[in-house]
Amino acid sequence: MNRNKREKEYYSLDVGDSTFTVLKRYQNLRPIGSGAQGIVCSAYDHVLERNVAIKKLSRPFQNQTHAKRAYRELVLMKCVNHKNIIGLLNVFTPQKTLEDFQDYRYLVMELMDANLCQVIQMELDHERLSYLLYQMLCGIKHLHAAGIIHRDLKPSNIVVKSDCTLKILDFGLARTAATGLLMTPYVVTRYYRAPEVILGMGYQANDIDQWNKVIEQLGTPSQEFLMKLNQSVRTYVENRPRYAGYSFEKLFPDVLFPADSDHNKLKASQARDLLSKMLVIDASKRISVDEALQHPYINVWYDPAEVEAPPPLISDQQLDEREHTVDEWKELIYKEVLASEERTKNGVIRGQPASLAQVPQ
Ligand code: AMP
């Protein structure tokens, strides 16, 4: 496409401190959120005739790690197609050549109403709580089936609609490889780190504090768990003060839960039982996603079409092993963006050619 024609397809407007330069098909932009990677706006898409979310990713090429992360997110989002994972509708950049393609690009996604940080402030009944959990588990199961570990699941990365449907966001930190008992260190929001992540991180003051907080509540883990740790981590864990921990009835008393539901199964006691199986320090003893989907608090919603959806095919199998210079990553991303732009002129992108692409619900 020639330069002039491209320029005519875009317009710019200020959103807070940032300028969005978007295709003219997207109108009525309004800021709805911001994260580590950039700003998110809602907009109306005149081609698809629906509301969408547009995320502007800033400075994806500041170093090799960011560039690789940006590429990984794009490839994974294009491959995954499940109702509980946010769908990618378009990707574009107003920058016209690879040389210009410096600092930003835009992802267009299905628009949701709120993130889970907002929703957990509300008084939800057991039906809603268990349905939200069920959908999270369906989304996570689907990612795991494709060998994808999200690695940054937290309330701000989970979005919902007022009809209680839920989708998982943000693949920037996702990996496609399995890991051992202790997860390799990576940056993940502190409150939501699993014990094996904390222990894999080395011993800065903050991490020690977090481990102490976990064992104060759940109790010092068993000798069996300690024997699985490598010597230096074990020495650290053994040298912590010993705690008996609290029962789950104490940690999560009935008053913290909504009133029991008319529906027989959805009771505070069931929710507490599920929590007691999820909040287990030893990952090998923790309830798996499959088991959680069978738990009485969750399985009231079980639908094989949602739980057992065929896993996505990842189009770039060597996603994690690949190493490139920033310029090479940039070129790979630029090609992906241009290919997507071509395919999505009239609709929706996925990893496949346009003729096979499915329109998400
Ligand atoms: P992110 O940069 O992806 O972490 O998004 C930051 C925030 O923007 C999220 O916590 C949501 O509040 C909001 N957000 C992101 N994507 C969407 C979307 N597709 N629909 C609605 N809100 C979104």
Mean pLDDT lowest for which of 23-32, 52-61, 221-230, 266-275?
A: 52-61
Ligand 1 proximity of 85 Cβ (cutoff 6 Å): no
pLDDT at residue number 359: 26
Which of 83, 105, 169, 192 best tests ligand 1's pocket when mutated (most atoms within 8 Å of CB)? 169
More confident residue, 213 or 148: 213
Confidence label for 349 from pLDDT (cuts 50, 70 and 90): low
Ligand 1 proximity of 57 Cβ (cutoff 6 Å): no
CA 2–ligand 1 middle distance (angstroms) = 33
pLDDT at residue number 353: 30
Q: Where in the chain is the domain with CATH 1.10.510.10?
A: 114-308
pLDDT at residue number 358: 30
Mean pLDDT lowest for which of 75-79, 205-209, 217-221, 233-237?
A: 205-209
More confident residue, 80 or 201: 80
CA-closest residue to ligand 1 atom 14? 33
Q: Is the pLDDT of residue 212 over 60?
A: yes
Ligand 1 proximity of 156 Cβ (cutoff 6 Å): yes
Tell me if residue 262 is catalytic.
no
Structural fold of domain 114-308 = Transferase(Phosphotransferase); domain 1 (1.10.510)
CA-closest residue to ligand 1 atom 2? 35
Q: What value does the CA radius of gyration of the chain take, rounded to a whole number of Å? A: 22
CA 209–ligand 1 middle distance (angstroms) = 30
Ligand 1 proximity of 32 Cβ (cutoff 6 Å): yes
Structure confidence by residue, pLDDT tens digits, 334-347 = 888 888 777 766 55
Confidence label for 182 from pLDDT (cuts 50, 70 and 90): low
- How far are the Cα atoms of 208, 213, 216, 218, 230 from residue 240, in angstroms, in the given order? 9, 11, 10, 14, 16
Beta pairing partners, 42: 30, 53
Mean pLDDT, residues 84-96 taken together: 89
Structure confidence by residue, pLDDT tens digits, 133-142 = 999 999 999 9
More confident residue, 210 or 130: 130
- How far are the Cα atoms of 168, 201, 203, 220 from residue 233, in angstroms, in the given order? 32, 10, 9, 14
Mean pLDDT, residues 17-39 taken together: 90
Confidence label for 82 from pLDDT (cuts 50, 70 and 90): very high
CATH of the structural domain 6-112, one choice from 3.40.50.300, 3.30.200.20, 1.10.10.10, 3.30.70.270 = 3.30.200.20
CA 329/CA 65 separation, integer angstroms: 10
The active-site residue, picked from 152, 170, 207, 316, is 152
Ligand 1 proximity of 109 Cβ (cutoff 6 Å): yes
Cα 276 to chain centroid, rounded: 24
Mean pLDDT, residues 94-110 taken together: 82
CA-closest residue to ligand 1 atom 7? 33
More confident residue, 16 or 281: 281
Using a pLDDT cut of 70, give the percent of the chain over it.
81
Q: Is the pLDDT of residue 319 over 90?
A: no
CA 175–ligand 1 middle distance (angstroms) = 20
Mean pLDDT lowest for which of 7-11, 159-163, 165-169, 314-318?
A: 314-318
Ligand 1 proximity of 245 Cβ (cutoff 6 Å): no
For residue 169, the ligand 1 atom closest to its alpha carbon is 3
CA 237–ligand 1 middle distance (angstroms) = 37
CA 92–ligand 1 middle distance (angstroms) = 18
> Which regions of the chain does DSSP assign to beta strands (E)?
10-15, 18-23, 26-34, 38-45, 50-58, 88-92, 104-110, 114-115, 158-160, 166-168
CA 44–ligand 1 middle distance (angstroms) = 16
More confident residue, 300 or 207: 300
> What pTM was computed for the model?
0.87
pLDDT at residue number 221: 95
Nearest to 271 by CA among 132, 79, 94: 132
Q: Where in the chain is the domain with CATH 3.30.200.20?
A: 6-112
Q: Is the pLDDT of residue 312 over 70?
A: yes
Which of 32, 74, 165, 187 best tests ligand 1's pocket when mutated (most atoms within 8 Å of CB)? 32
CA-closest residue to ligand 1 atom 5? 35
pLDDT at residue number 287: 97
